[in-house]
Every structure is written in C-alpha cells, then in structure tokens.
Amino acid sequence: MALPGLIPSALIGAVAGARAMTPMAVLAAARLAGGRTPGRLFLLDGPLFRSGALVLGVGELLGDKLRSAPDRTAPLGLLARTLSAGIAGAALAPHGRERAGAVLAVGAAAPLAYLTLGGRRRAMSRMGQTRSGLIEDALVIAAGAAVVAFALRRR
C-alpha cells in the first residue's frame, strides 16, 4: 500500500493545523464507539487517554473564543498540533506504515496552521471572533469526523 493508503494521515494533519486537539478527540470518540484504527497505537486503548482527549478537545473549542487565546502559530500551539497530528496520523495509517503516517500528518499540520490562521483572521474582521470560531469549529469537526470515518471504513 503506497501513498494512497496514507491520505487519511495527511488529511488528519490538516485538521490538526486548524484545531490541535480535534484529531485526538475524534479518534477517542471513534474508539469509544467501538471503531478500530488501521494503525496500531496503544495510547488509544487507555481510558484515561480517551477521556483526556475528549476533555481537551472540548476545552480547546471553548478557549478559542476567548480574546486572550494565543494564535495557533505560537510555539506551544505548533507543538500541540505537531504531537496531535503525529499520533493521529500514525493511528490512521495502514498497519506497519504508522511512522510514515505520522510524518505526513506532521508535515501537513504546521503549514495548515498558518493557512487557517490567515483565513480565520479574515473571517474575524467580517463577523467577529465568536461567530467565525463557531463556523471554523463546525468545519473542522466535520472534516475530522469524515477523515476518521473514511479511514475506519477502509480498514
């Protein structure tokens, strides 16, 4: 299985570029619903990890609406996106290709953080921080859920 099998990994990296914790929260929700990821990743089997991922995902969505929320391209934001993308990219990669999936996801996350920040700033100037954030949340959650559902169905 060459590059096409790694497409979900790259796409989940793009999701991480917009929302750092969404990939982990969507994966945790899929695991709670009984879904199995193609890549082997022991972290997803731990109840503490799954619960933490869901809490962090919701917390990020709420915190993003605060005026004091840092840009997604701040060093800690990029670190969180990189870690989340790598873990999720590995989980969605075909078994035995987890490392390649992680690399692709990380490679997509950082540039997409800058690209989505530019789009969000333009949207904020037109409709405000909260409204633009809610629209972005809906798009990112839908994209993350679609990528994970596609990857789990292909398994």
Res 139: pLDDT: 96
Tens-digit pLDDT profile for residues 48-78: 888 899 999 999 888 877 778 788 889 999 9
**Domain residue spans of the chain:** 3-154
For residue 93, pLDDT over 80 is answered with yes
In angstroms, rounded to a whole number, what is the distance separating the alpha carbons of residues 66 and 147? 28
In angstroms, rounded to a whole number, what is the distance separating the alpha carbons of residues 82 and 93? 16
Q: For residues 38 and 151, is the Cβ–Cβ distance under 8 A?
A: yes
Evaluate if pTM is beyond 0.85.
yes
For residue 1, pLDDT over 50 is answered with no
**List of residues 6+ apart from 93 with CB closer than 8 A:** 5, 6, 8, 9, 38, 39, 100, 101, 102, 104
Res 50: pLDDT: 86
Both structure tokens of 98: 């987890």
**List of residues 6+ apart from 9 with CB closer than 8 A:** 88, 89, 90, 92, 93, 100, 101, 102, 104, 105
For residues 101 and 44, which has the higher predicted lDDT (pLDDT)?
A: 101
Res 2: pLDDT: 62
How high is the mean pLDDT of the chain?
90
Q: How confident is the model at residue 153 (pLDDT cuts 50, 70, 90)?
A: confident
**Region of poorest pLDDT, from 32-41, 118-127, 145-154:** 32-41
